[in-house]
């Protein structure tokens, strides 16, 4: 299995609080992604990174920010959590074009 | 709206039958990939087909790609109960940086 871990695996937080999810990889892959998965929507891309300090927005980036200060870590921050951000969040990594993506186990976030 | 749309949304077949899932997408791509997700787990890569390829096989999987119609199909032959899962197509958009976006998924149930 590819070395990719997400933390925490489960989190319950209150509306209005900031939340940070961490994705850590040991594969030295260049590209990292954050997705959210909701029933009826499949996976939707939030943000992605194509190198250290290089990030770009995905389809549903509002309310989220990311940072990548080193190759192995990609952080997703919900600046002020809302109930609509209750979801399962997946991190993925790829080495380059035309290679498969490896996924983390997911983080189940509940905003109450 | 999402780049990819799978059809059908749900499919139920008997063990031993073939299962066919379709994916349509909207913009030019470099490659298209299929992934499987067992309930509550991360996604697992199945097969990748490049934009200049028309058909690809891997074990019981057969993938076709028609770039003129912006569509792909995944065929699982001689299905097994263990194939019960959700299946997603993902596209690497052409141009720009590596942005991999997913469709909404097909939920396959194989009845023993």
Q: Residue A73: CB partners within 8 Å, gap ≥ 6?
A: A22, A23, A24, A25
Residues of chain A with pLDDT under 50: none
The model's confidence at residue B1, banded by pLDDT at 50, 70 and 90, is low
User: If contacts are CB pairs under 8 Å, which of residues 2-21 in chain B contact chain A?
Assistant: 2, 4, 6
CB contact under 8 A, B98 and A50: yes
- A24 touching chain B per CB within 8 A: no
Q: What is the Cα–Cα distance from B99 to B97, expressed in whole angstroms?
A: 6
- A107 touching chain B per CB within 8 A: no
Phi and psi angles of residue A85, each rounded to the nearest 5 degrees, phi first: -95, 5
Q: Residue B1: CB partners within 8 Å, gap ≥ 6?
A: none
The pLDDT score that the predictor gives to residue B62 is 98
Tens-place pLDDT, residues B39-97: 878 899 999 999 999 999 999 999 999 999 999 999 999 999 999 999 999 988 776 66
CB contact under 8 A, B48 and A94: no
Q: Tell me which H or E stretch contains B102.
A: strand B100-102
**Burial environment of residue A74 by CB neighbours within 10 A (0 to 12, 13 to 18, 19 or more):** buried
Look up residue A68 and give its two tokens: 């990548």
For A43, the closest of B41, B98, B102 (CB atoms) is B102
**Burial environment of residue A83 by CB neighbours within 10 A (0 to 12, 13 to 18, 19 or more):** exposed
Q: Of how many residues is chain B composed? A: 112
């Amino acid at each position: 299995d590819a070395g990719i871990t997400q933390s925490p695996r489960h989190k319950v937080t209150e509306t209005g609080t900031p939340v940070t999810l961490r994705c850590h990889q040991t594969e030295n892959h260049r590209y990292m992604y954050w997705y959210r998965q909701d029933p009826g929507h499949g996976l939707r891309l939030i943000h992605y990174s194509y190198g250290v300090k290089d990030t770009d927005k995905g389809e549903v980036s509002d309310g989220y920010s990311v940072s990548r200060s080193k190759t192995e870590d990609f952080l997703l921050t919900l600046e002020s959590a809302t109930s609509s951000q209750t979801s399962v969040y997946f991190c993925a990594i790829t080495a380059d074009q035309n290679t498969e993506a490896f996924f983390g186990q997911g983080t189940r976030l509940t905003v109450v | 709206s999402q780049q990819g749309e799978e059809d059908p949304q749900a499919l139920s077949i008997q063990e031993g039958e073939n299962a066919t899932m379709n994916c349509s997408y909207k913009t030019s791509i470099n490659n298209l990939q299929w992934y499987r997700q067992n309930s509550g787990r991360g996604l697992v890569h199945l097969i990748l087909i490049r934009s200049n390829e028309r058909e690809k096989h891997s074990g019981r999987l057969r993938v076709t790609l028609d770039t003129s119609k912006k569509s792909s199909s995944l065929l699982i032959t001689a299905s097994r109960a263990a194939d019960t899962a959700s299946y997603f197509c993902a596209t690497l958009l052409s141009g720009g940086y590596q942005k991999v976006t997913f469709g909404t998924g097909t939920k396959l149930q194989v009845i023993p």
